[in-house]
Chains A and B, each alone.
Chain A
């Protein structure tokens, strides 16, 4: 209990990943919520990679955590650009207005 092992970190990251997925599945009101939940899942992945790289004493996990941060930045930039374009087109940012890509 007092000894922090790999299992603790993996459980924590699994909880965060599940909460992010639950947020995507149940609580979508606007596109900003969608982006935030994706960021939570990326955070869980970062914890997972850093924990594995620390406990197996290998630096590759840290490098890939670094790459995940760049992916987070790129994803947020593209998502916000889509959000701005959607708001200019429709005037709101709710998820129902994303149907315009079907038309």
Chain B
């Protein structure tokens, strides 16, 4: 009963947030809804008894979402003034959504405290979860784990190669392609001309 309630609640929020993720035009908003979807998926994984994977999923993908969010902010030239105006416009809607998140957190924590969910969840009870996972990783699937480590190493090297550039080029590009909207006119002390700072 409790498991069914938790499953349906998490699944409904998950499908809704996935729909909002793919339907919103703003990349920042869709990445934030992706973050909500990831938290709900980790809740489903806890229901399934895979707690280690749930924690790992939150750690790894929240980092990824943070980087995506930063890239969205940096690349899509969104002004700080626009963000401030949007904050004023959508303040009540945002506060309702935030309060619903807090209410959901409280409801789930109360349910988890009052009822014993570990009996309803289907868990392999004989050994602990992390010992199963670590023995599987380092005994049965050792070579596959090494291969995935090489994949991560390759991705790091590829990231550095794709994004690295020389410092001279960097300075020149920064001087040339400084966007107009971030310039603030400042009257300098020497002359009366308006200079970008």
Contacts and interface: CB of A to CB of B under 8 A. Distances in A.
Contacts of A54: 48-50, 122
SS class, residues of chain B in contact with chain A: helix
Interface stretch (B81-89, B133-141, B180-188): B133-141
Contact of B21 (A36, A87, A91): A36
B148 interface: yes
Interface residues of A, number: 59
Contacts of A75: 155
A77 B48 contact: no
Interface string B32-73: 001001100100110011101100110011011001100110
B7 A33 contact: no
A13 to B, nearest CB: 9
Interface in A26-61: 27, 29-30, 32-33, 35-37, 39-40, 43, 46-47, 50-51, 53-55, 57, 59-60
B53 A93 contact: no
A32 B133 contact: no
Contacts of A55: 122
Contacts of B75: 83, 87, 93
Task: For the complex of A and B, list the 8 residue pairs with the smallest distance between their C-beta atoms, beginning with the closest.
Answer: A23-B22, A74-B155, A81-B162, A32-B27, A81-B159, A54-B48, A76-B64, A2-B4
